[in-house]
Amino acid sequence: MDRKVVTLFSDSPFVTEGLAPLSHIDVAYETWGVLNQAKDNAVLVLHALTGDSHAASHYPGDLSGWWEDLIGPGKAIDTNKFFVVAPNVLGSCYGTTGPTSKRSDGTIYGIDFPEITIGDQVTVEKALIDHLGVGHLAMVIGGSMGGMRALEWGYRYGAIIDELAVVAASARATAFQIGLSSLQIRSIELDPNFYGGRYHEYGVAPEEGLSIARGMAHISYRNSSELDDRFANTAKGGDRSHGTFEVDSYLRYHGEKLTQRFDANTYIKLVKAMSAFDLGRGRGGVVAALSTISPKTIVVGVDSDELFHPHLQYEIAIGVGENATMDLITSTVGHDGFLVDAASIGEVLLRRSEVLSQESHLDRIVASCAN
């Protein structure tokens, strides 16, 4: 792993959209490939909710990244051609300033870390790109929460982006997504070890609450048919009388796994940022905002996604208009298909030049939406 950290906003404090100042921001990031002399071959890769900067391996034997099938020499995002940058998002706990970071007085922010937005995260990512000397972006690509940020990039900075790739995302949070997220937050806050978000002061963590939150999220990341095919109503050990089912064990496993690597306050802040996302807020609505996105836009959905249903990606493609293409990848797993079946996303990107050279895509998008 080749993670770097840079400190930004040292000269002038960063101010969130909620008007909270941060004296400086550390940003963890990783890069692959080489920036060319024209400084226009960069690809910005944006991770999802609990992801990090390690999108792909750097050398043989390195830990595989979360988009390993997509990024690397000869792959769809070819590191022999592109300078790939994957930053860890503002508010995270993997090296970029967030709730687990220390303030100037040496104390941990914890729950006092300010509320942040997708827009705040993009502002920090743009500062990193400027710091790296990138003048133009060949592509901005992200999935899920990363796809939300990609849309914000397209709206704000479309003039410096050749292609935008939005994967398994939406232009605004839906009531279903917000409701599910609110239940996750409540499960963390009700954990007796939460202590109003000040659990660091007590040397504990709300692990059970975070584990339950992750279980709720994870079941929405998968497809209901896939879960039934895998687990049905099978009881653990074959005994239903105790009410312990295989699917419950599966969700507990994923919940407990997250508690070993992620912070509860961080989870809350990032989930709230996703829930608050609305590309059209203050911009005349989602349709108006999407219509101003100028880069060629590749929209990719997962056909079995029940959390970010494909109709949400169709809305993006239709809103952007003739400059957009829409593809659905086939996956049995649901929303997590954007990670599990990343090779299929690569196939979409590899044929993008042929598709984007077509004169008009709107009729095809509308026809696909009707099917």
For the annotated catalytic residues, the residue numbers are 144, 305, 335
Q: What is the DSSP letter of 278?
A: B
Note every long-range contact of 108-113, with CB atoms under 8 Å and residues 24 or more positions apart, other chains counting: 108/200, 109/265, 110/197, 110/198, 110/199, 110/200, 110/201, 110/265, 111/196, 111/197, 111/198, 111/265, 111/268, 112/197, 113/265, 113/269
Tokens of 2: 């080749």
Tokens of 188: 């963390």
Cα torsion 286, 324, 52, 246: sign: positive
The distance from CA 320 to its chain's CA centroid, rounded to whole angstroms, is 20
Cα 13 from Cα 11, distance rounded (Å): 7
Query: What radius of gyration, in Å, describes the C-alpha atoms of the chain?
Result: 20
